[in-house]
Amino acid sequence: MINNTNELKTKINMDKLPKHISIIMDGNGRWAEKRSLPRNFGHQEGMKRVIETVEAAYELGIEYLTLYAFSTENWKRPASEIEGLMKILIIYIRRELDKITKNNIVINILGDISELHEIPRREVEKAVERTKNNTGMVLNIALNYGGRDEIVHGIKEYLKEIEMGKVSVDDLNINSFSSYLYTKGQPDPDLVIRPSGEQRLSNFLLYQIAYSEFWFSDVLWPDFKANHLYEAIIEFQNRNRRFGGI
Ligand code: FPP
């Protein structure tokens, strides 16, 4: 790994940037446990990496950045950890919303936030509302998100439209179905980044990542630096994407 951030950044081909990068921010708990700290300290440190990563992606000119913040399965965690994560989300929005708005970033939520507690839900709704007319980078925050849940939700939405007579069964195809997903209107992720040494999808964007490139690293999310993002992008730019062709 090249350690000089600026040196690595200059190796990025700005004409071949991935349009959409998505990140499974994993390893917060292990980072904290290694230091004999409560798991929420790892999430707090993870939030700082969120701030830096959004900044780095914005500065590069990435069009879509998706961050996996809370899955439909994360409700199985102890109540204290869930509460801690929601507090961190609130702190993040309160701390960053002005800058995000000024930087013309759109906050978009992937997932069903109606199941969130009232205070985090309101905070998230405020962030979405305040940034909805921005025209720059789209920051998707996957919150109470699950890929299977999203597909079933999309199918239900489609069936409702059939019932209303708006569409017919034959209108459904792999492209039209995309518009029933939370990522409606967005390009599929070109690059999926998963730190922390785990090499699995964890129910993330199952429909959208059919032809995404993957970049795995042993670094835990609280140790993730702009350099790791640059490294992932450079490796992506050296991949040969064939999309099933030759
Ligand atoms: C996975 O690590 C991480 C999460 C479940 C939460 C991610 C949340 C943040 C980084 C902070 C808040 C987010 C935003 C957008 C402000 P883990 O706890 O599963 O780690 P482990 O596998 O080491 O236990």
Kindly give the distance from the C-alpha atom of residue 180 to the centroid of ligand 1, in angstroms, as a whole number: 27
Kindly give the distance from the C-alpha atom of residue 14 to the centroid of ligand 1, in angstroms, as a whole number: 30
pLDDT band at residue 17 under the 50/70/90 scheme: very high
Instruction: Please give the number of the atom of ligand 1 that sits closest to the Cα of 92.
Output: 16
Q: Which CATH number do you get for residue 54?
A: 3.40.1180.10
Alpha helices (runs of H) in the chain, residue ranges in sequence order:
5-10, 28-34, 39-60, 79-102, 118-131, 147-163, 174-178, 226-237
Catalytic (active site) residue 74? yes
User: Does residue 181 sit within a domain?
Assistant: no
> Do 212 and 243 contact (CB within 8 A), yes or no?
no
User: Does residue 166 sit within a domain?
Assistant: no
Kindly give the distance from the C-alpha atom of residue 166 to the centroid of ligand 1, in angstroms, as a whole number: 40
d(CA 70, CA 72): 7
CA-proximal residue: ligand 1, atom 6 (nearest): 69
pLDDT band at residue 246 under the 50/70/90 scheme: confident
Q: Which of 28, 74, 171, 175 is catalytic?
A: 74
Instruction: Please give the number of the atom of ligand 1 that sits closest to the Cα of 31.
Output: 23
> Do 143 and 115 contact (CB within 8 A), yes or no?
no
Share above pLDDT 70 across residues of the chain, in percent, rounded to a whole number = 99
User: Does residue 162 sit within a domain?
Assistant: no
pLDDT at 2: 46
CA-proximal residue: ligand 1, atom 24 (nearest): 29
Q: Which domain holds residue 50?
A: 17-147+188-237
Q: How many domains does the chain have?
A: 1
In the predicted model, what is the mean pLDDT of the chain? 97
User: Does residue 58 sit within a domain?
Assistant: yes
pLDDT at 5: 74
User: Does residue 156 sit within a domain?
Assistant: no
**Ligand 1 site residues, Cβ closer than 6 angstroms:** 25-30, 43, 46-47, 50, 67, 69, 74, 85, 88-89, 92, 141, 196, 221
User: Does residue 2 sit within a domain?
Assistant: no
Catalytic (active site) residue 175? no
Does residue 53 register a pLDDT over 90? yes
**Residues with Cβ < 8 Å from 133, sequence gap 6 or more?**
none
Kindly give the distance from the C-alpha atom of residue 133 to the centroid of ligand 1, in angstroms, as a whole number: 29
* pLDDT tens-digit readout, 104-116: 999 999 999 999 9
Q: Which of 13, 15, 26, 28 is catalytic?
A: 26
CA-proximal residue: ligand 1, atom 2 (nearest): 26
User: Does residue 1 sit within a domain?
Assistant: no
User: Does residue 178 sit within a domain?
Assistant: no
Tokens (6 digits) for 184 = 């409606």
* pLDDT tens-digit readout, 168-192: 999 999 999 999 999 999 999 999 9
CA-proximal residue: ligand 1, atom 7 (nearest): 69
